[in-house]
Amino acid sequence: MDTINRRYIWLFFSILITIMVGAYIFNIIKAPSLSKPYILRSDAGEQTNSYYVVKDTLGVTILETGLPVQVDDQYIDEHNVQYIVLKVDGKNAVADIVTKKEDSTNNSSGVSAMNLPYYKKSIPAQAAPGTHVVIYHTHTDESYVPTSAKASQPGAGDIYQVGNILTDSLQKSGVSVTHSTNAHDPHDINAYHRSRKTVTQLLTEGPDAAFDIHRDSAPASAYITSINGVDTSRVMIVMGRSNPNMKTNLQYAKKIKAEADNLYPGLVRGIFMGKGSYNQDLYPTALLFEVGTETISLDLAENGVRFLSDVITHVLASS
């Protein structure tokens, strides 16, 4: 009798474990991904087209990005024209204009700032005493292929060095910085859940802002520019539209972009508002920056955050 009972007990727990494992796998398969897709490569090292292409209703490309693009996502481009995504078919999307507003700080001729030969140099800003920001990386594997020969290095991505340069540049301007090097691998749908613990801890320091530093997956042409004669990466600000307080974060993002447009036109290619929260619901001045793409070299990304640091310092000083 004891043997029979033990068999029933073992059978019960076996069935229970099977159900739990099945439910977990089903949840993983069905859960929407907020992570940029991995870059698929053939044995010859050729890259497949893994990024999204968003065009306006006239067929003009307005955005190329590795970020997932969904219906109702929005994008504010370099010239502050705001679009909303109407349709997504595979990696192709169509968006229409919501608002069209040329900011006075932008290039009034309508020519892309990327094509201008020279930008004015900013007057170095110095942050007020006690100014503090925190920096971290949700996708700690992200790297730059021309520099590291691979797009992903789990736990040791080039993105750490981008964070180091941003940290050093801000500190030279008088900003106190805590740069977390916590790893949040693997690069999957749960990466933001893991990094949420990191940013929650960082926010106990009461910073003026919290920045999650990434790199995008898009053609190099979408991110390369020249500022003051220096070849550099551009930057894109990413917002989570599932954040119930997104308007506050977006206001801060627009302030960063406006200052960048004034100091270094073309540095900020736009503001993307995608599905998800990107942990920005935790803090009103939490932002995500995409610094370049995997197809550019690390030194261009480093130059990009040096310019970005100057922009951030000016914003912090004005606050």
Is the pLDDT reported for residue 28 higher than 50? no
Smallest Cα–Cα separation from 277: which of 245, 255, 307, 305? 245
Give 144's Cβ-side CA count (13 Å radius): 23
> Using alpha carbons only, what angle is made at residue 65 by residues 137 and 104, rounded to the nearest 5 degrees?
95
Q: Check: CB of residue 253 under 8 Å from CB of residue 280.
A: no
pLDDT at 45: 30
10 Å CB burial of residue 310 (0-12, 13-18, 19+) is buried
How confident is the prediction for the chain on average, in pLDDT?
A: 85
Rounded Cα–Cα distance for residues 44 and 47 (Å): 9
Which positions ≥6 away from 300 have C-beta within 8 Å? 223, 224, 231, 232, 233, 292
Q: Which CATH architecture has domain 113-318?
A: 3-Layer(aba) Sandwich (3.40)
Tens digits of residue pLDDT in 51-92: 999 999 999 999 999 999 999 999 999 999 999 999 999 999
Domain spans, the chain = 113-318
Q: What is the pTM of this model?
A: 0.80
Residue range 144-195, pLDDT digits in tens:
999 999 999 998 999 999 999 999 999 999 999 999 999 999 999 899 999 9
Torsion of CA 136, 287, 151, 34, to 10 degrees: 110
pLDDT score of 284 more than 60: yes
Q: Which residue has the tokens 């020969």?
A: 149
